[in-house]
Structure 1
Amino acid sequence: MYWKPIAAALLPGLLLSGCAGGAARAGTGTAAERVTSWRKVATEADRKRLRDWHRAWDSALPRARTADGGAIAADPALFAPDEARSGPALPPGGYRCRVFKLGAAGTAMREFTAYPAFRCKISDEGGMASFQKLTGSQRPTGLLFPDDGTRMVFVGTLMLGDETAPLRYGADPQRDMIGYVDRIGERRWRLVLPWPSFESQLDVIELVPEEAGAAP
Protein backbone atom coordinates (compact mmCIF):
# COMPACT_ATOMS: atom_id res chain seq x y z
CA MET A 1 0.00 0.00 0.00
CA TYR A 2 1.51 3.34 -1.01
CA TRP A 3 -0.93 5.76 0.59
CA LYS A 4 1.53 6.85 3.28
CA PRO A 5 4.39 7.99 1.03
CA ILE A 6 1.86 9.67 -1.27
CA ALA A 7 0.33 11.55 1.66
CA ALA A 8 3.76 12.55 2.90
CA ALA A 9 4.69 13.79 -0.60
CA LEU A 10 1.45 15.71 -1.05
CA LEU A 11 1.37 17.40 2.32
CA PRO A 12 4.73 17.37 4.09
CA GLY A 13 3.24 19.17 7.09
CA LEU A 14 0.71 16.41 7.60
CA LEU A 15 2.53 13.64 9.47
CA LEU A 16 0.38 10.55 9.65
CA SER A 17 0.36 8.29 12.66
CA GLY A 18 2.00 5.02 11.72
CA CYS A 19 4.59 6.51 9.36
CA ALA A 20 8.27 7.10 10.09
CA GLY A 21 8.25 4.88 13.14
CA GLY A 22 4.73 4.89 14.51
CA ALA A 23 3.13 7.91 16.14
CA ALA A 24 2.93 11.31 14.49
CA ARG A 25 6.02 13.34 15.32
CA ALA A 26 4.25 16.66 15.66
CA GLY A 27 1.26 17.00 17.92
CA THR A 28 -0.89 14.10 19.02
CA GLY A 29 -3.71 12.04 17.60
CA THR A 30 -4.30 10.59 14.19
CA ALA A 31 -4.21 12.58 10.99
CA ALA A 32 -8.00 12.54 10.87
CA GLU A 33 -8.14 14.03 14.37
CA ARG A 34 -5.54 16.70 13.62
CA VAL A 35 -6.56 17.86 10.12
CA THR A 36 -10.26 17.65 9.37
CA SER A 37 -10.83 20.70 7.16
CA TRP A 38 -9.77 20.97 3.55
CA ARG A 39 -9.67 24.72 4.03
CA LYS A 40 -6.55 24.31 6.18
CA VAL A 41 -4.85 22.52 3.30
CA ALA A 42 -6.07 24.07 0.03
CA THR A 43 -4.33 27.01 -1.58
CA GLU A 44 -6.23 30.25 -2.08
CA ALA A 45 -6.33 29.60 -5.84
CA ASP A 46 -7.92 26.21 -5.27
CA ARG A 47 -10.41 27.56 -2.76
CA LYS A 48 -11.50 30.02 -5.44
CA ARG A 49 -11.82 27.23 -8.01
CA LEU A 50 -14.08 25.31 -5.66
CA ARG A 51 -16.17 28.37 -4.85
CA ASP A 52 -16.75 28.75 -8.61
CA TRP A 53 -17.78 25.11 -9.16
CA HIS A 54 -21.27 25.97 -10.39
CA ARG A 55 -19.91 28.54 -12.83
CA ALA A 56 -17.73 25.79 -14.30
CA TRP A 57 -20.83 23.68 -14.89
CA ASP A 58 -22.69 26.65 -16.37
CA SER A 59 -19.88 27.23 -18.86
CA ALA A 60 -18.92 23.66 -19.72
CA LEU A 61 -22.21 21.77 -19.79
CA PRO A 62 -23.89 23.69 -22.66
CA ARG A 63 -20.78 23.22 -24.79
CA ALA A 64 -20.68 19.50 -24.04
CA ARG A 65 -24.40 19.19 -24.78
CA THR A 66 -23.91 20.88 -28.16
CA ALA A 67 -21.04 18.52 -28.98
CA ASP A 68 -22.78 15.29 -27.88
CA GLY A 69 -26.29 15.89 -26.60
CA GLY A 70 -27.09 12.19 -26.72
CA ALA A 71 -24.35 11.26 -24.24
CA ILE A 72 -25.40 14.01 -21.83
CA ALA A 73 -29.10 13.10 -22.05
CA ALA A 74 -28.37 9.40 -21.58
CA ASP A 75 -26.95 9.95 -18.10
CA PRO A 76 -28.88 12.75 -16.37
CA ALA A 77 -27.65 11.93 -12.85
CA LEU A 78 -23.99 12.09 -13.86
CA PHE A 79 -24.32 15.41 -15.66
CA ALA A 80 -26.79 17.22 -13.38
CA PRO A 81 -24.84 19.95 -11.54
CA ASP A 82 -26.96 19.79 -8.38
CA GLU A 83 -27.40 16.01 -8.18
CA ALA A 84 -26.25 14.87 -4.74
CA ARG A 85 -27.49 12.31 -2.21
CA SER A 86 -26.64 11.96 1.43
CA GLY A 87 -23.72 9.73 2.41
CA PRO A 88 -20.97 10.89 0.03
CA ALA A 89 -18.14 8.90 1.66
CA LEU A 90 -16.82 6.14 -0.61
CA PRO A 91 -16.11 2.70 0.88
CA PRO A 92 -12.45 1.67 0.60
CA GLY A 93 -11.59 -0.61 -2.29
CA GLY A 94 -11.12 -0.77 -6.02
CA TYR A 95 -13.28 1.25 -8.40
CA ARG A 96 -13.99 1.36 -12.09
CA CYS A 97 -13.75 5.03 -13.05
CA ARG A 98 -14.75 6.74 -16.27
CA VAL A 99 -13.47 10.22 -17.09
CA PHE A 100 -15.50 12.83 -18.96
CA LYS A 101 -14.06 16.19 -20.00
CA LEU A 102 -16.57 18.99 -20.60
CA GLY A 103 -15.93 22.35 -22.25
CA ALA A 104 -12.78 22.89 -24.24
CA ALA A 105 -9.92 24.84 -22.67
CA GLY A 106 -8.15 25.94 -25.83
CA THR A 107 -8.95 25.82 -29.52
CA ALA A 108 -7.32 22.41 -30.08
CA MET A 109 -9.51 20.65 -27.49
CA ARG A 110 -12.89 18.98 -27.93
CA GLU A 111 -15.99 20.24 -26.15
CA PHE A 112 -16.83 16.75 -24.87
CA THR A 113 -14.57 13.74 -24.45
CA ALA A 114 -15.49 10.40 -22.87
CA TYR A 115 -12.80 7.89 -21.99
CA PRO A 116 -13.15 4.14 -21.38
CA ALA A 117 -12.98 2.88 -17.81
CA PHE A 118 -9.78 3.18 -15.80
CA ARG A 119 -8.88 1.72 -12.41
CA CYS A 120 -9.08 3.81 -9.25
CA LYS A 121 -8.68 3.12 -5.56
CA ILE A 122 -10.09 4.52 -2.33
CA SER A 123 -8.02 3.89 0.79
CA ASP A 124 -8.86 4.54 4.44
CA GLU A 125 -5.94 5.10 6.79
CA GLY A 126 -6.77 6.17 10.31
CA GLY A 127 -10.03 7.81 9.30
CA MET A 128 -8.51 9.88 6.47
CA ALA A 129 -9.48 8.77 2.97
CA SER A 130 -7.37 8.92 -0.17
CA PHE A 131 -8.26 8.74 -3.86
CA GLN A 132 -5.87 7.41 -6.50
CA LYS A 133 -6.44 6.99 -10.20
CA LEU A 134 -4.18 4.04 -10.94
CA THR A 135 -4.17 3.85 -14.74
CA GLY A 136 -4.07 6.31 -17.62
CA SER A 137 -1.69 9.09 -18.60
CA GLN A 138 -3.34 11.64 -16.26
CA ARG A 139 -3.84 10.41 -12.69
CA PRO A 140 -5.35 12.64 -9.98
CA THR A 141 -4.09 11.57 -6.56
CA GLY A 142 -5.03 13.11 -3.24
CA LEU A 143 -7.01 13.23 -0.03
CA LEU A 144 -10.76 13.32 0.62
CA PHE A 145 -12.03 15.57 3.38
CA PRO A 146 -15.56 15.61 4.82
CA ASP A 147 -17.38 18.84 3.97
CA ASP A 148 -21.09 18.41 4.59
CA GLY A 149 -23.76 15.74 4.41
CA THR A 150 -23.82 15.61 0.62
CA ARG A 151 -20.22 16.00 -0.48
CA MET A 152 -16.56 15.45 0.29
CA VAL A 153 -13.74 17.66 -0.95
CA PHE A 154 -10.76 16.31 -2.88
CA VAL A 155 -7.39 18.05 -2.58
CA GLY A 156 -4.50 16.60 -4.57
CA THR A 157 -2.16 16.79 -7.51
CA LEU A 158 -1.99 15.44 -11.04
CA MET A 159 0.46 12.66 -11.86
CA LEU A 160 1.49 12.37 -15.53
CA GLY A 161 2.96 9.67 -17.74
CA ASP A 162 5.27 7.25 -15.98
CA GLU A 163 5.63 9.27 -12.77
CA THR A 164 5.61 7.06 -9.69
CA ALA A 165 5.00 9.70 -6.99
CA PRO A 166 2.97 12.91 -6.90
CA LEU A 167 4.39 16.39 -6.66
CA ARG A 168 4.04 18.14 -3.33
CA TYR A 169 0.70 19.92 -3.21
CA GLY A 170 1.26 23.65 -3.73
CA ALA A 171 4.61 23.20 -5.50
CA ASP A 172 3.16 23.57 -9.02
CA PRO A 173 -0.19 25.37 -9.34
CA GLN A 174 -0.80 23.71 -12.72
CA ARG A 175 -0.64 20.29 -11.08
CA ASP A 176 -2.71 21.22 -8.01
CA MET A 177 -6.28 19.90 -8.13
CA ILE A 178 -9.41 20.45 -6.11
CA GLY A 179 -12.90 19.05 -6.50
CA TYR A 180 -15.79 17.43 -4.72
CA VAL A 181 -17.39 14.00 -4.45
CA ASP A 182 -21.16 13.46 -4.72
CA ARG A 183 -23.07 10.22 -4.36
CA ILE A 184 -25.39 10.05 -7.37
CA GLY A 185 -26.78 6.52 -7.07
CA GLU A 186 -27.13 3.53 -4.77
CA ARG A 187 -23.49 2.53 -5.32
CA ARG A 188 -22.34 5.24 -7.65
CA TRP A 189 -20.32 8.40 -7.06
CA ARG A 190 -18.67 11.14 -9.08
CA LEU A 191 -15.59 13.28 -8.52
CA VAL A 192 -16.07 16.71 -10.09
CA LEU A 193 -12.97 18.80 -10.82
CA PRO A 194 -13.83 22.41 -11.77
CA TRP A 195 -11.42 24.48 -13.86
CA PRO A 196 -8.57 21.96 -14.28
CA SER A 197 -5.35 23.34 -15.70
CA PHE A 198 -5.36 21.21 -18.85
CA GLU A 199 -7.75 20.52 -21.74
CA SER A 200 -11.18 21.18 -20.21
CA GLN A 201 -13.27 23.47 -18.07
CA LEU A 202 -14.74 20.66 -16.00
CA ASP A 203 -13.79 17.02 -15.44
CA VAL A 204 -16.30 14.47 -14.16
CA ILE A 205 -15.02 11.09 -12.96
CA GLU A 206 -17.70 8.45 -12.43
CA LEU A 207 -16.82 5.95 -9.67
CA VAL A 208 -18.44 2.53 -9.35
CA PRO A 209 -17.08 -0.25 -7.10
CA GLU A 210 -15.45 -2.94 -9.18
CA GLU A 211 -17.71 -5.63 -7.76
CA ALA A 212 -20.84 -3.62 -8.55
CA GLY A 213 -20.54 -4.13 -12.30
CA ALA A 214 -21.76 -1.62 -14.87
CA ALA A 215 -23.42 1.58 -13.71
CA PRO A 216 -27.06 2.16 -14.65
Structure 2
Amino acid sequence: MNRLLAPAAALLTLTACNALTGPREIIGSETQQWRVAATGGDRTRLRDWRTAFIEALAKARAGGHGREIAAEGALLDPDAGIVGVPIPNGDYRCRVIKLGAKQSGLLDYVAYPAFTCRIQPDKGLQGFAKLSGSQRPVGMIFPGDSMRQVFLGTLVLGDEKRAMQYGRDPDRDLSAFVEKIGPNRWRMVFPRPAFESTLDVIELIPAS
Protein backbone atom coordinates (compact mmCIF):
# COMPACT_ATOMS: atom_id res chain seq x y z
CA MET A 1 0.00 0.00 0.00
CA ASN A 2 2.97 2.28 0.48
CA ARG A 3 4.49 1.67 -2.90
CA LEU A 4 5.40 4.66 -5.00
CA LEU A 5 2.85 5.80 -7.52
CA ALA A 6 3.46 5.46 -11.25
CA PRO A 7 5.09 8.31 -13.18
CA ALA A 8 3.20 11.57 -13.39
CA ALA A 9 1.98 10.88 -16.91
CA ALA A 10 -0.07 7.99 -15.53
CA LEU A 11 -1.68 9.99 -12.76
CA LEU A 12 -4.76 12.13 -12.31
CA THR A 13 -4.73 15.17 -10.05
CA LEU A 14 -7.55 15.40 -7.51
CA THR A 15 -7.81 19.07 -6.62
CA ALA A 16 -7.48 19.18 -2.81
CA CYS A 17 -9.46 15.93 -2.75
CA ASN A 18 -12.68 17.98 -2.75
CA ALA A 19 -13.32 18.24 -6.48
CA LEU A 20 -13.75 15.70 -9.24
CA THR A 21 -11.31 16.42 -12.05
CA GLY A 22 -11.34 14.38 -15.24
CA PRO A 23 -11.67 10.81 -13.97
CA ARG A 24 -11.93 9.74 -17.62
CA GLU A 25 -8.13 10.06 -17.69
CA ILE A 26 -7.88 7.16 -15.23
CA ILE A 27 -9.29 4.81 -17.86
CA GLY A 28 -6.81 4.76 -20.73
CA SER A 29 -9.32 3.59 -23.33
CA GLU A 30 -11.97 5.88 -24.84
CA THR A 31 -14.46 3.03 -25.09
CA GLN A 32 -18.01 3.22 -23.74
CA GLN A 33 -17.99 -0.56 -23.10
CA TRP A 34 -16.86 -1.66 -19.68
CA ARG A 35 -15.80 -5.13 -20.85
CA VAL A 36 -13.32 -3.56 -23.26
CA ALA A 37 -11.88 -1.25 -20.58
CA ALA A 38 -11.80 -3.79 -17.72
CA THR A 39 -8.78 -5.89 -16.85
CA GLY A 40 -9.10 -9.67 -16.92
CA GLY A 41 -8.97 -9.75 -13.14
CA ASP A 42 -11.85 -7.33 -12.80
CA ARG A 43 -13.96 -9.15 -15.37
CA THR A 44 -13.52 -12.29 -13.26
CA ARG A 45 -14.35 -10.50 -10.00
CA LEU A 46 -17.49 -8.99 -11.46
CA ARG A 47 -18.57 -12.31 -12.96
CA ASP A 48 -18.33 -13.96 -9.53
CA TRP A 49 -19.74 -11.04 -7.53
CA ARG A 50 -22.63 -12.97 -5.99
CA THR A 51 -20.36 -15.78 -4.76
CA ALA A 52 -18.17 -13.16 -3.07
CA PHE A 53 -21.24 -11.47 -1.56
CA ILE A 54 -22.55 -14.73 -0.04
CA GLU A 55 -19.08 -15.66 1.25
CA ALA A 56 -18.59 -12.24 2.83
CA LEU A 57 -21.98 -12.35 4.55
CA ALA A 58 -21.26 -15.82 5.92
CA LYS A 59 -17.96 -14.66 7.40
CA ALA A 60 -19.58 -11.60 8.97
CA ARG A 61 -22.44 -13.63 10.45
CA ALA A 62 -19.98 -16.20 11.80
CA GLY A 63 -18.16 -13.31 13.45
CA GLY A 64 -21.30 -12.34 15.36
CA HIS A 65 -22.61 -9.56 13.10
CA GLY A 66 -25.93 -11.04 12.04
CA ARG A 67 -27.90 -8.28 13.77
CA GLU A 68 -26.00 -5.52 12.01
CA ILE A 69 -26.47 -7.23 8.64
CA ALA A 70 -30.21 -7.62 9.20
CA ALA A 71 -30.52 -3.97 10.22
CA GLU A 72 -29.11 -2.83 6.86
CA GLY A 73 -31.96 -4.47 4.97
CA ALA A 74 -31.68 -4.19 1.18
CA LEU A 75 -28.18 -2.75 1.33
CA LEU A 76 -26.70 -6.13 2.28
CA ASP A 77 -29.14 -8.34 0.39
CA PRO A 78 -27.39 -9.74 -2.70
CA ASP A 79 -30.67 -9.86 -4.61
CA ALA A 80 -32.04 -6.43 -3.69
CA GLY A 81 -31.19 -4.68 -6.96
CA ILE A 82 -34.11 -3.22 -8.90
CA VAL A 83 -34.51 -1.70 -12.36
CA GLY A 84 -33.68 1.98 -12.17
CA VAL A 85 -30.25 2.80 -13.56
CA PRO A 86 -28.46 4.99 -14.45
CA ILE A 87 -27.72 6.63 -11.14
CA PRO A 88 -28.28 10.43 -11.36
CA ASN A 89 -25.37 12.85 -11.30
CA GLY A 90 -24.86 14.88 -8.14
CA ASP A 91 -23.41 14.76 -4.64
CA TYR A 92 -24.12 11.79 -2.39
CA ARG A 93 -23.76 10.71 1.21
CA CYS A 94 -21.77 7.51 0.77
CA ARG A 95 -21.32 5.02 3.58
CA VAL A 96 -18.83 2.15 3.30
CA ILE A 97 -19.33 -1.30 4.83
CA LYS A 98 -16.58 -3.94 4.67
CA LEU A 99 -17.59 -7.60 4.99
CA GLY A 100 -15.53 -10.74 5.56
CA ALA A 101 -11.95 -10.30 6.69
CA LYS A 102 -9.31 -11.50 4.25
CA GLN A 103 -6.93 -12.54 7.02
CA SER A 104 -6.84 -13.14 10.75
CA GLY A 105 -6.61 -10.06 12.92
CA LEU A 106 -8.98 -8.03 10.74
CA LEU A 107 -12.65 -7.45 11.47
CA ASP A 108 -15.36 -9.32 9.59
CA TYR A 109 -17.72 -6.34 9.68
CA VAL A 110 -16.80 -2.67 9.63
CA ALA A 111 -19.26 0.16 8.97
CA TYR A 112 -17.87 3.65 8.45
CA PRO A 113 -19.69 6.96 8.88
CA ALA A 114 -20.95 8.72 5.76
CA PHE A 115 -18.58 10.65 3.53
CA THR A 116 -19.26 12.79 0.46
CA CYS A 117 -19.12 11.26 -3.02
CA ARG A 118 -19.72 12.95 -6.35
CA ILE A 119 -21.01 11.68 -9.70
CA GLN A 120 -20.83 13.94 -12.74
CA PRO A 121 -20.89 13.69 -16.55
CA ASP A 122 -17.54 12.95 -18.17
CA LYS A 123 -17.10 12.39 -21.91
CA GLY A 124 -20.27 10.39 -22.43
CA LEU A 125 -19.94 8.41 -19.21
CA GLN A 126 -20.14 9.31 -15.52
CA GLY A 127 -17.20 10.13 -13.30
CA PHE A 128 -17.28 8.97 -9.67
CA ALA A 129 -15.13 10.01 -6.72
CA LYS A 130 -15.26 9.57 -2.98
CA LEU A 131 -14.01 12.98 -1.88
CA SER A 132 -12.72 12.31 1.63
CA GLY A 133 -11.53 9.50 3.88
CA SER A 134 -8.39 7.38 3.94
CA GLN A 135 -9.51 5.14 1.05
CA ARG A 136 -11.06 6.96 -1.92
CA PRO A 137 -12.29 5.17 -5.06
CA VAL A 138 -12.10 7.32 -8.19
CA GLY A 139 -13.05 6.32 -11.72
CA MET A 140 -15.80 5.90 -14.29
CA ILE A 141 -19.31 4.45 -14.32
CA PHE A 142 -20.12 2.59 -17.54
CA PRO A 143 -23.46 1.40 -18.93
CA GLY A 144 -24.28 -2.16 -17.93
CA ASP A 145 -27.72 -3.72 -18.31
CA SER A 146 -31.25 -2.92 -17.14
CA MET A 147 -30.28 -3.74 -13.54
CA ARG A 148 -26.73 -2.50 -13.16
CA GLN A 149 -24.03 -0.10 -14.22
CA VAL A 150 -20.33 -0.88 -13.86
CA PHE A 151 -17.67 1.15 -12.06
CA LEU A 152 -13.99 0.81 -12.98
CA GLY A 153 -11.36 2.87 -11.22
CA THR A 154 -8.52 2.98 -8.76
CA LEU A 155 -7.99 3.53 -5.05
CA VAL A 156 -6.42 6.71 -3.67
CA LEU A 157 -4.92 6.21 -0.21
CA GLY A 158 -4.20 8.49 2.74
CA ASP A 159 -2.99 11.97 1.82
CA GLU A 160 -2.23 11.13 -1.83
CA LYS A 161 -3.37 13.85 -4.22
CA ARG A 162 -3.22 11.78 -7.40
CA ALA A 163 -4.99 8.68 -8.60
CA MET A 164 -3.11 5.91 -10.36
CA GLN A 165 -4.21 5.02 -13.87
CA TYR A 166 -6.46 1.96 -14.02
CA GLY A 167 -4.62 -1.21 -15.00
CA ARG A 168 -1.19 -0.08 -13.76
CA ASP A 169 -1.39 -1.87 -10.39
CA PRO A 170 -3.84 -4.73 -9.69
CA ASP A 171 -3.79 -3.86 -5.99
CA ARG A 172 -5.16 -0.41 -6.74
CA ASP A 173 -7.67 -1.42 -9.43
CA LEU A 174 -11.32 -1.44 -8.37
CA SER A 175 -14.50 -2.74 -9.98
CA ALA A 176 -18.09 -2.64 -8.79
CA PHE A 177 -21.67 -3.01 -9.85
CA VAL A 178 -23.88 0.03 -9.29
CA GLU A 179 -27.46 -0.88 -8.40
CA LYS A 180 -30.61 0.88 -7.32
CA ILE A 181 -32.00 -0.72 -4.15
CA GLY A 182 -34.86 1.62 -3.25
CA PRO A 183 -36.28 5.11 -3.69
CA ASN A 184 -33.31 7.50 -3.81
CA ARG A 185 -31.00 4.72 -2.63
CA TRP A 186 -28.20 3.01 -4.56
CA ARG A 187 -25.23 0.84 -3.76
CA MET A 188 -21.86 -0.05 -5.24
CA VAL A 189 -20.79 -3.66 -4.72
CA PHE A 190 -17.01 -4.27 -4.87
CA PRO A 191 -16.23 -8.02 -4.95
CA ARG A 192 -12.86 -9.14 -3.60
CA PRO A 193 -10.94 -5.85 -3.34
CA ALA A 194 -7.19 -6.25 -2.88
CA PHE A 195 -7.11 -5.14 0.75
CA GLU A 196 -8.84 -6.12 3.99
CA SER A 197 -12.22 -7.54 2.99
CA THR A 198 -14.02 -10.09 0.83
CA LEU A 199 -16.62 -7.52 -0.21
CA ASP A 200 -17.05 -3.76 0.12
CA VAL A 201 -20.44 -2.09 -0.24
CA ILE A 202 -20.94 1.66 -0.62
CA GLU A 203 -24.42 3.01 0.10
CA LEU A 204 -25.28 6.10 -1.95
CA ILE A 205 -28.03 8.51 -0.89
CA PRO A 206 -28.45 11.91 -2.58
CA ALA A 207 -27.04 14.71 -0.43
CA SER A 208 -30.07 16.90 -1.11
Structure 1 or 2, whichever has the larger Rg, is 1
Please state how far the C-alpha of 1:38 moved relative to its aligned partner: 0.3
Residue equivalent to 1:193 = 190
Contact kept, 8 Å, 1:3 with 1:123, in 2: the verdict is no
Moved over 4 A (4+): none
Within 5 Å, which residues of 2 pair with 1:54-203? 54-66=50-62, 67-203=64-200
Q: What SS is found at the alignment partner of 2:74?
A: coil
- Give 1:108 shift: 1.7
Distance in 2, matches of 1:65 and 1:88, equals: 30
Counterparts of 1:177 and 1:54, CA distance in 2: 16
Identity among equivalent pairs (%): 48
Gaps of 5+ in 2: 1-18
Please give the secondary structure, in 2, of the residue aligned with 1:78: helix
Residue 11 of structure 1 pairs with residue 27 of structure 2: yes
5+ residue gaps in structure 1?
Answer: 15-34, 212-216
- What's the counterpart of residue 44 of structure 2? 48
8 Å contact from structure 2 (residues 24, 123) kept in 1: no
Picking from 21, 33, 39, the partner of 1:37 is: 33
Per-residue CA distance 1:122-180 (angstroms, 9 max, x = gap): 11134310110001000011100111001000100000011112101111000001110
Deviation of the 1:55 alpha carbon: 1.0
CA distance in 2, matches of 1:89, 1:96: 17
Alignment check: 8 A CA contact 1:145 1:152 kept: yes
Deviation (angstroms), 1:65: 2.3
TM-score under structure 1 normalisation?
0.84
In structure 2, what is the equivalent of residue 23 of structure 1?
A: none
Displacement of 1:208 in angstroms is 0.2
Deviation at 1:40, TM superposition (A): 0.6
C-alpha distance in 2, partners of 1:65/1:182? 23
Once residues 159 and 3 of structure 1 are traced to their aligned partners in structure 2, the CA distance between those partners, rounded to angstroms, is 14
Q: Return the alpha-carbon distance in structure 2 between the equivalents of residues 150 and 3 of structure 1.
A: 28
Task: Tell me the matched-pair count.
Answer: 189
Matched letter for residue 121 of structure 2: D
**1:88–1:189: 8 Å Cα contact kept in structure 2?**
no
TM-score by length of 2: 0.87
Kindly indicate whether the alpha-carbon contact (under 8 Å) linking 2:27 and 2:140 is maintained by their aligned counterparts in 1.
no
Q: Tell me the C-alpha RMSD between the 2 structures.
A: 1.2
Amino acid at match of 1:7: R
